Structure 1
Amino acid sequence: MMNKRITQVLLLLLIAAGIALAVVYREQLSGDALQEWVISLGSAGPVVFMLIYIVSTLVFLPGSVLTLAGGALFGPVWGTFYNLTGATIGATLAFIIARYIASEWVEKNSGKRVAKLKEGVEAEGWRFVAFVRLVPLFPFNLLNYALGLTRIRLLDYILATYLFMLPGAFAYTYLGYAGREAISGGESFIQKGLLALALLAVVAFIPRLVGRLRQGPMIDVSELAKQLKENDPPLILDVRTVEDYVGKQGYIIGSFNIPLEELKQRIAEISDHNDSPVAIVCRTDKRSVKAARILARNGFSNVHVVRNGMTAWNSAGEPVSHEPPV
């Protein structure tokens, strides 16, 4: 036990020292100097480049400079392979280090809120890793260590990281390649530059696409009424205005009202439910669909829209309240 503690402390100090050095010498990082040095290494260049990427991932250096340099050095295909491989190995090492150093401590000392969040992440497993790789809600380097504190399987983590970082890695690598062609005056550099911009546009659209995919199916009021009688009912999020909430249609007892117009600013009020079921209701379901997209883009993983909303709830004769909420 003592030897393990000593090793954990040494690893922690080593990572801290690496981060400190990276911060001190951050301004001296130069893509051009890196390229010249890697080229001078000849056949060993790709291996050294990946080693640099691995270390940079561990010590929180930005990967964008390296990714662009990889494209300029090795072209779009091999550059993507070296970039993605280096980033994945670095992410995996960070994951393993965090698991070895602190996962037991986190397991024993997590508060209810952290434990619930952790359980939700673990329940999704590789799907959560895929989501955060496609939609970078959190800083890449920090996320690698954070995921190591969960019980997500190592193999699932590696495969999801490699596969779902591929679109972004290829787009930015190609941008570096196109930049090199533009500087050198290579043929068709305009077409390559336009293609690079198109790839970046596709990558920028991915979060919206993934948000829609993560949006759960619509549920009928009969199913919602059944769920509300179970031991672990969903959060009912009513996104109508305050006036409509206590107006003619009333509201579902136990629901929580955040008007659609305020949802982005007030989303922290329901952050405890980002991994548990959320049923969204409005007068029909138009506002609810928009709200579901906002929640999905902010990491909510189990979102459902109530079909035809309060109109259907009232038609079914389900109970409502008109009293101002406390």
Structure 2
Amino acid sequence: MDYWLPLFFFSYLFFVRLFLSRPLTVFSLAAGLAFGSVLGTIYALIGATAGALCSFLLATTFRSKKKETESSSRKLRAVTSRIQEHGFLYILLLRIAPIHFDFVSYAAAASRANYRAFTAATFLGLIPGTVALNVLGSSFVSGNYAALAIVCLIYLIFISVPLVLKRKMPDLF
């Protein structure tokens, strides 16, 4: 009976979250609580990557039927321009940074990014935050406050990477 829980978790991450626009952070914490830090990380990475790919492909489908308008936001135009220029690297940095999850998927689709590069960059970019959030979730259950403090510190380091790169590589941001 326990095999149904991961299946439910995946289906929720794939489909339901896509239409309800719930934050992915909640699901990463929940995966750590429900499955532990190792299995929770694996399940959350697979589910989040597949969910992002579903969003990307859905946005790609609608993009091809609707021509780009002048009314698209300035922020979206700036991000799509950077994705067109730097592709994999920029998507990877956006996935590491604490930026709205679905916005990155939609911007990548709008920029006509390669789906393989998008998927690889998404998977790799989600690893640091997902590991941190899953360990955080599982440490709540175990009461391991040392792990909790270490994970918070590591997470802060990873989310500061894009900020440091912004200063070192201003043309990328």
Shared fold (TM-score, shorter chain, > 0.5): yes
Aligned to 1:42, the other structure's residue is in SS state coil
C-alpha separation in 2, matches of 1:160 and 1:83:
16
User: Which residue of the partner structure matches residue 49 of structure 1?
Assistant: 9
Kept in 2, the 8 Å contact 1:133–1:164? The answer is yes
Summarize the Cα distance change of 1:204–1:116 in structure 2 as closer, same or farther, 3 Å threshold.
closer
C-alpha separation in 2, matches of 1:172 and 1:54:
19
Summarize the Cα distance change of 1:176–1:87 in structure 2 as closer, same or farther, 3 Å threshold.
same
Summarize the Cα distance change of 1:121–1:179 in structure 2 as closer, same or farther, 3 Å threshold.
same
**What amino acid maps onto 1:210 in structure 2?**
P
- The answer to whether residue 18 in structure 2 is matched with residue 58 in structure 1 is yes
Q: Sequence identity of aligned pairs in percent?
A: 24
In the TM superposition, residue 118 of structure 1 has moved relative to its aligned partner by 2.9
In the TM superposition, residue 111 of structure 1 has moved relative to its aligned partner by 6.9
**What amino acid maps onto 2:119 in structure 1?**
I
In the TM superposition, residue 116 of structure 1 has moved relative to its aligned partner by 6.3
C-alpha separation in 2, matches of 1:176 and 1:82:
14
**What amino acid maps onto 1:123 in structure 2?**
E
User: Which residue of the partner structure matches residue 119 of structure 1?
Assistant: 81
Give unmatched runs, 5+ long, in structure 2.
Answer: none
Deviations 1:120-166 (A, max 9, x none): 32111011111111112x31123322322111100000001011110
TM-score by length of 1: 0.47
- The structure carrying a bigger helix percent of its residues is 2
C-alpha separation in 2, matches of 1:120 and 1:96:
20
- The answer to whether residue 172 in structure 2 is matched with residue 301 in structure 1 is yes
Summarize the Cα distance change of 1:200–1:152 in structure 2 as closer, same or farther, 3 Å threshold.
same
TM-score by length of 2: 0.84
C-alpha separation in 2, matches of 1:126 and 1:301:
12
Summarize the Cα distance change of 1:178–1:63 in structure 2 as closer, same or farther, 3 Å threshold.
same
In the TM superposition, residue 213 of structure 1 has moved relative to its aligned partner by 3.4
Q: 2:95 aligns with which of 120, 128, 133?
A: 133
C-alpha separation in 1, matches of 2:71 and 2:96:
29
C-alpha separation in 1, matches of 2:159 and 2:29:
22
Aligned to 1:58, the other structure's residue is in SS state helix
Kept in 2, the 8 Å contact 1:56–1:63? The answer is no
Summarize the Cα distance change of 1:167–1:122 in structure 2 as closer, same or farther, 3 Å threshold.
same
In the TM superposition, residue 53 of structure 1 has moved relative to its aligned partner by 1.6
Summarize the Cα distance change of 1:116–1:143 in structure 2 as closer, same or farther, 3 Å threshold.
closer
User: Which residue of the partner structure matches residue 131 of structure 2?
Assistant: 170
1:1-326 matches, cutoff 5 A: 41-59=1-19, 60-103=21-64, 105-107=66-68, 109-110=69-70, 118-136=80-98, 138-182=99-143, 192-216=144-168, 301=172
In the TM superposition, residue 43 of structure 1 has moved relative to its aligned partner by 1.8
Aligned residue-pair number: 170
RMSD: 2.4
Summarize the Cα distance change of 1:174–1:154 in structure 2 as closer, same or farther, 3 Å threshold.
same
Aligned to 2:3, the other structure's residue is in SS state helix
C-alpha separation in 2, matches of 1:106 and 1:180:
49
Largest Rg, 1 or 2: 1
C-alpha separation in 2, matches of 1:180 and 1:106:
49
Summarize the Cα distance change of 1:117–1:54 in structure 2 as closer, same or farther, 3 Å threshold.
closer
Summarize the Cα distance change of 1:134–1:117 in structure 2 as closer, same or farther, 3 Å threshold.
closer
Aligned to 2:172, the other structure's residue is in SS state coil
C-alpha separation in 2, matches of 1:65 and 1:208:
21
In the TM superposition, residue 45 of structure 1 has moved relative to its aligned partner by 1.8
